[in-house]
Amino acid sequence: MTEQTGAARPRRAVRAPNRVGEDSSSVVTRSSQPQATGRSARAVDPAQQLQTLLTTPKSALTHVEITDVFNAGTWNILPLEVRERLCSLLPPTAFAGFIPTIDPMHSARTQRVLSDTDSQDIDVDMEAPAPNVSPDMLDASVFSDGHFLAAARTFQDHLYTGWMADTHKEKVAKYERGVLDGTLHAPWKDEVWAKEHTAPDNGEQPLPASSQQSEASARAGDAAELKLVDLAKNGVIKMGDVLAYKRTFSQLDTVVEKDAIIQSIHPKNYSVTVLVQPHTARELPPELLRVDPPDPDAPTKSMTVTSPNMLENGILDVDGRVEKSRRPNGNAWKCLSVWRWRHQPEGDLDMLAFQERGGRENHGTLFYLRGCYYHDR
């Protein structure tokens, strides 16, 4: 299996082809000429050479058989101080005479396990360095172990694809910072599904199905016939739910977030009355997140809406950072997530109000819940 895996990897030729009209003898003669020495020779920085070898896709390690580099023979020719340093990076299972430790939290259980010779319950920390080991204790068979070879070839593949380069690491770090500070958006599963399956939600008739349009895509477009009042009428959204709004306005480099709690639902027209905090405040006061909240006081604001777009515009008006002319004609169904208690809360309800959104859990976006209700009804 190891030979098949190595043979399947892409290899690049390292020898330049002969020029047209040039025979092999001329190539050998030219290549056999002595290289320039002295001041004309280019000095090689060992640190830079090692950096290139371990990070760039042009590294010689990308087109060699990795077992020709990592093997017992190479290990034996390394200086003693180098091998001692490498020993500190290897797991304890790489050394002869290793005795696994037993988890003390399961002492009674492990005594029964050892009597039954069941080794699956022995707890080994594979990432911990081996304590008090020396190079002569290394088990040479580790270089032919399948796990070691798989890890070595994975490193080789990552090197070939450029994942070890500084430019790639900078891109990863930039993406992580953007996700944390809200300037970049990591799409959720329902958003990816909606992008791939839904038809335009703008009141127009869905496009006729083609050979490339799946049945799921057509049904997702049909769910657009349901309105917010339909969800309120059929209990998809309920009084006490928190509608968490979030949209990134990339042209303004602004992220707007605001929580709105459903205070009441009209019994006849099923319009929804929500409470929000003024200006850029996102979180609601803890007293409004209780099971039996009191009547709101200033500066909490109230608004009655009949559609997600109406609620989004009301939130942006209260926030005040995005002018109406700068607001995109997007799908507000995907910008509002429903947070609800999984069960009726019990215990210390006052302490529960100080948890995230009063101890509620994210049940998905309005877009997702609308689609689920449409297909389940």
Query: Per-domain residue ranges for the chain?
Result: 2-12+41-95+130-166, 220-376
User: How many CB atoms within 10 Å of residue 103?
Assistant: 12
Q: Give whole-number Cα distances, 143 to 42, 68, 83, 95, 151, in Å.
A: 36, 11, 14, 12, 11
The pLDDT confidence band at residue 313, using thresholds 50, 70 and 90, is: very high
The pLDDT confidence band at residue 9, using thresholds 50, 70 and 90, is: low
The predicted-structure confidence for 97-149, as pLDDT tens digits, reads as follows 766 555 555 444 444 444 444 444 444 454 555 557 788 888 888 898 888 89
pLDDT higher for 338 or 196?
A: 338
Cα–Cα distance measured from residue 43 to residue 155, given in angstroms and rounded to the nearest whole number: 29
Residue 183 clears pLDDT 80, i.e. is over it: no
Non-local (6+) Cβ contacts of 234 within 8 A are 373, 377
The predicted-structure confidence for 316-370, as pLDDT tens digits, reads as follows 999 999 998 888 777 899 999 999 987 665 655 566 666 788 888 899 999 999 9
The predicted-structure confidence for 60-80, as pLDDT tens digits, reads as follows 888 889 889 889 999 999 999
Share of the chain above pLDDT 90, in %: 29
Non-local (6+) Cβ contacts of 369 within 8 A are 231, 236, 237, 338, 363
Residue 293 clears pLDDT 90, i.e. is over it: no
Q: What is the pLDDT of residue 90?
A: 85
The answer to whether the CB of 258 falls within 8 A of the CB of 276 is yes
Cα–Cα distance measured from residue 54 to residue 34, given in angstroms and rounded to the nearest whole number: 29
